Amino acid sequence: MSYYVHQMSYYIHQIRKLEEERGREREKDSLVFDRAIHEGLQKARSDVFPRVEKAAVDQGTAAHQQKAAVDSAKPQELKGESPQRCKARMERQRRMDERAAMALAEKNMRDLMAQREQAERNRLADSLGADVKRWAAGKEGNLRALLSTLQYILGPESGWKAIPLTDVITPIAVKKAYRKATLYVHPDKVQQRGASIQQKFICEKIFDLLKDAWNKFNSE
Protein backbone atom coordinates (compact mmCIF):
# COMPACT_ATOMS: atom_id res chain seq x y z
CA MET A 1 0.00 0.00 0.00
CA SER A 2 2.77 2.43 0.93
CA TYR A 3 4.46 1.64 -2.38
CA TYR A 4 1.40 2.83 -4.35
CA VAL A 5 1.08 5.90 -2.18
CA HIS A 6 4.72 6.70 -2.85
CA GLN A 7 4.26 6.18 -6.60
CA MET A 8 1.13 8.36 -6.62
CA SER A 9 2.96 11.13 -4.78
CA TYR A 10 5.81 10.88 -7.24
CA TYR A 11 3.51 11.19 -10.25
CA ILE A 12 1.65 14.13 -8.68
CA HIS A 13 4.97 15.84 -8.04
CA GLN A 14 6.05 15.26 -11.65
CA ILE A 15 2.72 16.60 -12.98
CA ARG A 16 2.98 19.73 -10.85
CA LYS A 17 6.57 20.23 -11.96
CA LEU A 18 5.52 19.90 -15.59
CA GLU A 19 2.66 22.38 -15.09
CA GLU A 20 5.05 24.87 -13.48
CA GLU A 21 7.47 24.55 -16.41
CA ARG A 22 4.64 25.09 -18.88
CA GLY A 23 3.51 28.13 -16.88
CA ARG A 24 7.00 29.60 -17.04
CA GLU A 25 7.13 28.94 -20.78
CA ARG A 26 3.76 30.65 -21.29
CA GLU A 27 4.95 33.64 -19.24
CA LYS A 28 8.15 33.79 -21.27
CA ASP A 29 6.20 33.62 -24.54
CA SER A 30 3.90 36.39 -23.29
CA LEU A 31 6.86 38.62 -22.48
CA VAL A 32 8.39 37.96 -25.89
CA PHE A 33 5.05 38.73 -27.52
CA ASP A 34 4.62 41.96 -25.53
CA ARG A 35 8.16 43.03 -26.38
CA ALA A 36 7.53 42.36 -30.06
CA ILE A 37 4.33 44.41 -29.95
CA HIS A 38 6.14 47.29 -28.21
CA GLU A 39 9.01 47.25 -30.71
CA GLY A 40 6.54 47.11 -33.57
CA LEU A 41 4.67 50.14 -32.28
CA GLN A 42 7.93 52.07 -31.79
CA LYS A 43 9.02 51.26 -35.33
CA ALA A 44 5.62 52.30 -36.65
CA ARG A 45 5.83 55.63 -34.86
CA SER A 46 9.33 56.38 -36.13
CA ASP A 47 9.13 54.87 -39.60
CA VAL A 48 5.66 54.04 -40.88
CA PHE A 49 3.62 56.96 -39.50
CA PRO A 50 5.75 59.69 -41.15
CA ARG A 51 5.50 57.84 -44.45
CA VAL A 52 1.73 57.58 -44.09
CA GLU A 53 1.53 61.30 -43.40
CA LYS A 54 3.64 62.10 -46.48
CA ALA A 55 1.58 59.68 -48.56
CA ALA A 56 -1.58 61.49 -47.46
CA VAL A 57 -0.13 64.81 -48.56
CA ASP A 58 1.11 63.33 -51.85
CA GLN A 59 -2.28 61.78 -52.46
CA GLY A 60 -4.01 65.11 -51.95
CA THR A 61 -1.53 66.79 -54.27
CA ALA A 62 -1.97 64.12 -56.94
CA ALA A 63 -5.75 64.43 -56.76
CA HIS A 64 -5.53 68.19 -57.15
CA GLN A 65 -3.15 67.86 -60.08
CA GLN A 66 -5.33 65.24 -61.73
CA LYS A 67 -8.34 67.53 -61.48
CA ALA A 68 -6.31 70.39 -62.93
CA ALA A 69 -5.15 68.14 -65.78
CA VAL A 70 -8.70 67.09 -66.57
CA ASP A 71 -9.86 70.69 -66.51
CA SER A 72 -7.00 71.85 -68.73
CA ALA A 73 -7.64 69.00 -71.16
CA LYS A 74 -10.99 70.57 -72.02
CA PRO A 75 -10.10 73.99 -73.39
CA GLN A 76 -13.04 76.30 -73.72
CA GLU A 77 -12.51 78.84 -76.44
CA LEU A 78 -13.67 82.31 -75.73
CA LYS A 79 -15.64 84.17 -78.37
CA GLY A 80 -13.31 85.47 -81.00
CA GLU A 81 -10.30 83.62 -79.51
CA SER A 82 -8.01 81.70 -81.80
CA PRO A 83 -7.06 78.06 -81.02
CA GLN A 84 -3.47 79.11 -80.35
CA ARG A 85 -4.49 81.76 -77.81
CA CYS A 86 -6.89 79.33 -76.18
CA LYS A 87 -4.12 76.73 -75.85
CA ALA A 88 -1.71 79.29 -74.39
CA ARG A 89 -4.31 80.48 -71.91
CA MET A 90 -5.07 76.94 -70.78
CA GLU A 91 -1.34 76.25 -70.40
CA ARG A 92 -1.01 79.26 -68.09
CA GLN A 93 -3.99 78.01 -66.11
CA ARG A 94 -2.41 74.57 -65.82
CA ARG A 95 0.82 76.05 -64.44
CA MET A 96 -1.17 78.14 -61.96
CA ASP A 97 -3.04 75.04 -60.81
CA GLU A 98 0.23 73.13 -60.35
CA ARG A 99 1.72 75.94 -58.28
CA ALA A 100 -1.44 76.05 -56.16
CA ALA A 101 -1.26 72.29 -55.64
CA MET A 102 2.39 72.47 -54.60
CA ALA A 103 1.67 75.33 -52.21
CA LEU A 104 -1.19 73.35 -50.66
CA ALA A 105 1.00 70.26 -50.27
CA GLU A 106 3.76 72.30 -48.60
CA LYS A 107 1.23 73.91 -46.25
CA ASN A 108 -0.16 70.51 -45.30
CA MET A 109 3.33 69.22 -44.59
CA ARG A 110 4.18 72.26 -42.47
CA ASP A 111 0.95 71.81 -40.52
CA LEU A 112 1.72 68.16 -39.89
CA MET A 113 5.25 68.98 -38.72
CA ALA A 114 3.92 71.72 -36.43
CA GLN A 115 1.39 69.30 -34.91
CA ARG A 116 4.05 66.67 -34.31
CA GLU A 117 6.39 69.25 -32.76
CA GLN A 118 3.64 70.52 -30.46
CA ALA A 119 2.85 66.96 -29.38
CA GLU A 120 6.54 66.40 -28.59
CA ARG A 121 6.69 69.69 -26.68
CA ASN A 122 3.69 68.64 -24.60
CA ARG A 123 5.38 65.33 -23.84
CA LEU A 124 8.59 67.04 -22.74
CA ALA A 125 6.95 69.93 -20.88
CA ASP A 126 6.93 68.25 -17.46
CA SER A 127 10.55 67.10 -17.39
CA LEU A 128 12.09 70.13 -19.11
CA GLY A 129 9.87 72.55 -17.23
CA ALA A 130 11.08 71.03 -13.98
CA ASP A 131 14.71 71.46 -15.08
CA VAL A 132 14.15 75.15 -15.82
CA LYS A 133 12.37 75.68 -12.51
CA ARG A 134 15.23 74.06 -10.59
CA TRP A 135 17.74 76.28 -12.36
CA ALA A 136 15.72 79.46 -11.80
CA ALA A 137 14.84 78.68 -8.18
CA GLY A 138 15.93 81.60 -6.00
CA LYS A 139 16.99 83.65 -9.04
CA GLU A 140 13.59 84.85 -10.30
CA GLY A 141 13.91 88.54 -11.02
CA ASN A 142 17.64 88.53 -10.28
CA LEU A 143 19.08 89.37 -13.69
CA ARG A 144 22.73 89.09 -12.67
CA ALA A 145 22.21 85.65 -11.15
CA LEU A 146 20.36 84.39 -14.22
CA LEU A 147 22.95 85.72 -16.65
CA SER A 148 25.91 84.31 -14.73
CA THR A 149 24.42 80.79 -14.52
CA LEU A 150 23.01 80.34 -18.02
CA GLN A 151 25.63 77.71 -18.84
CA TYR A 152 24.09 75.33 -16.31
CA ILE A 153 20.70 75.20 -18.02
CA LEU A 154 21.88 75.55 -21.63
CA GLY A 155 24.47 72.81 -21.27
CA PRO A 156 28.01 72.51 -22.65
CA GLU A 157 26.78 71.33 -26.07
CA SER A 158 24.98 74.64 -26.62
CA GLY A 159 28.19 76.54 -27.27
CA TRP A 160 27.19 79.30 -24.86
CA LYS A 161 30.18 81.04 -23.27
CA ALA A 162 29.63 81.52 -19.56
CA ILE A 163 29.46 85.07 -18.18
CA PRO A 164 31.18 85.37 -14.77
CA LEU A 165 29.29 87.24 -12.08
CA THR A 166 32.22 89.65 -11.86
CA ASP A 167 31.52 90.70 -15.48
CA VAL A 168 28.00 91.92 -14.72
CA ILE A 169 28.64 94.31 -11.85
CA THR A 170 27.91 97.64 -13.53
CA PRO A 171 24.55 98.46 -15.14
CA ILE A 172 26.25 98.91 -18.52
CA ALA A 173 27.82 95.45 -18.28
CA VAL A 174 24.46 93.95 -17.26
CA LYS A 175 22.75 95.56 -20.25
CA LYS A 176 25.42 94.24 -22.61
CA ALA A 177 25.22 90.71 -21.20
CA TYR A 178 21.42 90.80 -21.30
CA ARG A 179 21.39 91.73 -24.97
CA LYS A 180 23.87 88.99 -25.75
CA ALA A 181 21.86 86.37 -23.85
CA THR A 182 18.44 87.35 -25.22
CA LEU A 183 19.84 87.35 -28.74
CA TYR A 184 21.18 83.83 -28.17
CA VAL A 185 17.93 82.38 -26.76
CA HIS A 186 15.54 84.37 -28.94
CA PRO A 187 13.03 81.96 -30.56
CA ASP A 188 13.82 83.19 -34.07
CA LYS A 189 17.57 82.75 -33.61
CA VAL A 190 17.08 79.33 -32.05
CA GLN A 191 14.97 78.30 -35.03
CA GLN A 192 17.65 79.52 -37.45
CA ARG A 193 20.27 77.40 -35.69
CA GLY A 194 18.17 74.30 -36.32
CA ALA A 195 17.83 73.56 -32.61
CA SER A 196 16.03 70.50 -31.30
CA ILE A 197 12.57 70.67 -29.75
CA GLN A 198 14.14 70.34 -26.29
CA GLN A 199 16.48 73.28 -26.93
CA LYS A 200 13.65 75.39 -28.32
CA PHE A 201 11.51 74.73 -25.25
CA ILE A 202 14.31 75.58 -22.80
CA CYS A 203 15.37 78.73 -24.68
CA GLU A 204 11.79 80.02 -24.77
CA LYS A 205 11.50 79.63 -21.00
CA ILE A 206 14.87 81.31 -20.46
CA PHE A 207 13.90 84.18 -22.76
CA ASP A 208 10.76 84.87 -20.72
CA LEU A 209 12.66 84.69 -17.40
CA LEU A 210 15.33 87.09 -18.65
CA LYS A 211 12.76 89.53 -19.97
CA ASP A 212 10.91 89.61 -16.63
CA ALA A 213 14.18 90.06 -14.76
CA TRP A 214 15.20 92.87 -17.12
CA ASN A 215 11.96 94.73 -16.48
CA LYS A 216 12.55 94.44 -12.74
CA PHE A 217 16.17 95.53 -13.14
CA ASN A 218 15.12 98.68 -15.00
CA SER A 219 12.50 99.56 -12.41
CA GLU A 220 14.96 99.52 -9.53
The tally of domains found in the chain comes to 1
- The long-range contacts involving 217-220, CB below 8 angstroms and separated by at least 24 positions, are 217/143, 217/174, 217/178
Structural domain contains residue 80: no
In a domain, 128, yes or no: no
pTM for the model: 0.49
Distance separating the N- and C-terminal Cα atoms of the chain: 101
Assess if residue 6 is contained within a domain: yes
pLDDT in tens, the chain (220 residues): 444 445 445 444 554 554 555 555 555 544 444 454 445 445 545 554 455 455 555 555 555 555 555 555 455 656 677 888 888 888 888 889 888 888 888 888 888 877 877 777 677 777 788 889 999 999 989 999 999 999 999 998 888 999 999 999 999 999 999 999 999 999 999 989 888 888 888 999 999 999 999 999 999 7
Does residue 105 fall inside a structural domain?
A: no
The parent domain of residue 39 ranges over 1-46
Q: Is 165 domain-assigned?
A: no
Q: Please check whether residue 15 lies inside any domain of the structure.
A: yes
| Residue 38, in any domain of the structure | yes
Domain presence at residue 185: no
* DSSP codes, 76-117: -PPTT--HHHHHHHHHHHHHHHHHHHHHHHHHHHHHHHHHHH
